[in-house]
Amino acid sequence: MEGVRSHWLAATGQPPRLITDGQGDRTRCVVQGRRGIDDAIAVVQRRLVEGARSGMRHLPLQAGGGVDSSVHDLGRVLRGEVDLDRCLRLARVLMALDEAACMRQRLRLRLTQAPAGEAPDDAWVAIRLASLPWPLPDGRAPGCDPAIVRRLASGDLASAVALAARRLRVAGIRCPVAAAPGDAVLARRYAAALAFPISRESASHLADRLHPAAPKENPA
């Protein structure tokens, strides 16, 4: 499956490519460049569509090496402290770079780690764990129900969290929240934050925060 670059309009201004899904042509270019939160949600929804076509039960959206999001940064997204309009515009510029040429010239992004802040609450942790692109390192695999993202995008936070908690329980992860209060603005931030992938290590820490995995038995 191609990376997320295909969902942005090329910097050259060329029209987006079209694909056929049996119901007519639909564009893979879903980022409109108007509102960052809408664009982030559109990317998540598009990845779910493409994952379903490939028979995946996960959200196929994962970070490249060393550029995953920290949970503290995502906490800022959820609190509305991140300018998503500017963030998505910057993403388009960075994706216009020729990755192979950058590697040949030994160009590297120097990322400065932001100071630690307030971590996301358990409700969003449940959403994040129910939307991973791969099973957890300990083998627990909640999978992803696209209905969770649809509920968030429509502003229905409570039922989205309830669905996520249900999937986690089926996967053997006890979730301390079955629902969560919040308005439509927060629900859409929950969905937009899924566009910023976390690492396997971060996912494992979040899962252990809700329900630590059982220790493996040492062979006799």
50 in any annotated domain? yes
* pLDDT at position 129: 94
Angle (CA) 128 45 68, round 5°: 45
Asked if 160 and 152 touch (Cβ cutoff 8 Å), the reply is yes
Query: Is 201 exposed, middle or buried (CB count within 10 Å of its CB: 0-12, 13-18, 19+)?
Result: exposed
92 in any annotated domain? yes
This prediction's pTM:
0.79
Q: What is the pLDDT along the chain (220 residues), one digit of tens a residue?
A: 556 655 655 555 454 444 444 433 356 766 777 788 988 898 888 888 877 777 677 888 787 666 788 898 899 999 999 999 998 888 777 776 666 665 565 555 555 555 666 778 999 999 999 999 999 988 998 888 899 999 999 999 999 999 999 999 999 999 888 777 789 999 999 999 999 999 999 999 999 998 886 655 454 4
Looking at the structure of the chain, the number of domains it has is 1
157 in any annotated domain? yes
Rounded to a whole number of angstroms, the distance between the first and last alpha carbons of the chain is 43
100 in any annotated domain? yes
61 in any annotated domain? yes
216 in any annotated domain? no
Q: Report d(CA 52, CA 41) in Å as an integer.
A: 17
The domain in which residue 151 lies consists of 1-211
Q: Report d(CA 99, CA 112) in Å as an integer.
A: 20
* pLDDT at position 16: 46
Q: Report d(CA 29, CA 50) in Å as an integer.
A: 12
* pLDDT at position 19: 42
